[in-house]
């Protein structure tokens, strides 16, 4: 390697201007559609789900200025855009409650891993984007065999989303007793 990676810096509180401009108040920028806001563009195979959650700080307060990205396989376990599905989503946390929501499909298993979403979280106060995963609580058998969950040991449960009427929900704790497992990706 002849060069070093550019050092990370926080996304800051106004990340929305560049990444989800409509949410920042720039309604007409980029045709009025924020990049990553729509993951399902057609009729992809697979189960439609809402993936919801919120991100909390070390005192239990929700982050109302976070940006969350999802990268995931399609319903057959293949990455990359296919058949009405982008595989990539980006959403801000709600400016009042901190809640986020992705309307997506449940991914298939990839390379022998349990089905999962890859998550990337940036915000004011986060100096280097945080990677984690969301697994699913209705995949107990696959989860038990998943190598990343095994490495996480007794903290693995922090990466397992729970079933809701619409899909799955996973809260993310940056710090404290229930701290989510973050990955050295």
Provide the phi-psi class of 4: left if phi over 0, else alpha when psi is between -120 and 50, else beta: beta
**Contacting other proteins (CB under 8 A), which of 49, 73, 105, 114?**
73
Q: Which stretch binds other proteins (CB under 8 A): 9-17, 42-50, 98-106, 134-142?
A: 9-17
- Binding to other proteins (CB under 8 A): which residues in 125-184? 125-131, 133, 147-148, 151-152, 155, 174-176, 179-184
Q: Which stretch binds other proteins (CB under 8 A): 44-52, 77-85, 134-142, 161-169?
A: 77-85
Beta carbon of residue 107, minimum distance to other proteins (angstroms, whole number): 9
- b/e for 80-91, b at 16 or more Cβ within 10 A? eebeebbbbbbb
User: Closest CB to other proteins among 69 and 101?
Assistant: 69
Least distance between other proteins and beta carbon 50 (Å) = 20
91 binds other proteins (CB under 8 A): no
Smallest separation (angstroms) from other proteins to the CB of 82: 12
DSSP letters along 115-173, please? P-EEEEEE-TT-SSPEEEEEEETT-HHHHHH-HHHHHHGGGGGGGEEEE-SSEEE--EE
Q: Residue 87: in which H helix or E strand, if any?
A: none
Alpha-carbon torsion 145, 150, 151, 157, what sign? positive
Interaction between residue 10 and other proteins (CB under 8 A): yes
Looking at the DSSP bridge assignments, the partners of residue 162 are: 169
Contacts with other proteins by CB under 8 A: the residue count is: 77
Residues 98-117 that bind other proteins (CB under 8 A): 110-111, 113, 116
Spatial distance between the Cα atoms of 123 and 126, rounded to a whole number of angstroms: 5
Residue 79 interacting with other proteins (CB under 8 A): yes
Q: Pick from 113, 169, 107, 39: which is nearest to 160 by CA?
A: 169
Among 26, 50, 99, 142, binds other proteins (CB under 8 A): 26
């Amino acid at each position: 390697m002849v060069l070093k990676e550019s050092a990370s810096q926080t996304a800051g509180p106004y990340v929305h201007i560049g990444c989800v401009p409509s949410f920042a108040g720039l309604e007409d920028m980029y045709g009025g559609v924020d990049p990553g806001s729509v993951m399902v563009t057609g009729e992809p195979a697979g189960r439609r789900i809402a993936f919801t959650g919120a991100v909390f700080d070390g005192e239990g307060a929700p982050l109302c200025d976070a940006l969350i990205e999802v990268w995931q396989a399609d319903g057959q376990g293949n990455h990359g855009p296919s058949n009405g599905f982008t595989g990539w989503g980006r959403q801000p946390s709600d400016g009042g409650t901190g809640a986020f929501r992705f309307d997506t499909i449940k991914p298939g298993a990839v390379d022998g891993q349990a089905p999962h979403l890859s998550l990337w979280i940036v915000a004011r106060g986060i100096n280097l984007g945080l990677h984690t995963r969301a697994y699913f609580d209705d995949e107990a058998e696959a989860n038990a065999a998943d190598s990343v969950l095994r490495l996480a040991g007794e903290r693995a449960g922090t990466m397992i989303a729970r079933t809701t009427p619409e899909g799955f929900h996973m809260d993310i704790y940056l710090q404290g007793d229930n701290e989510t497992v973050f990955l050295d990706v």
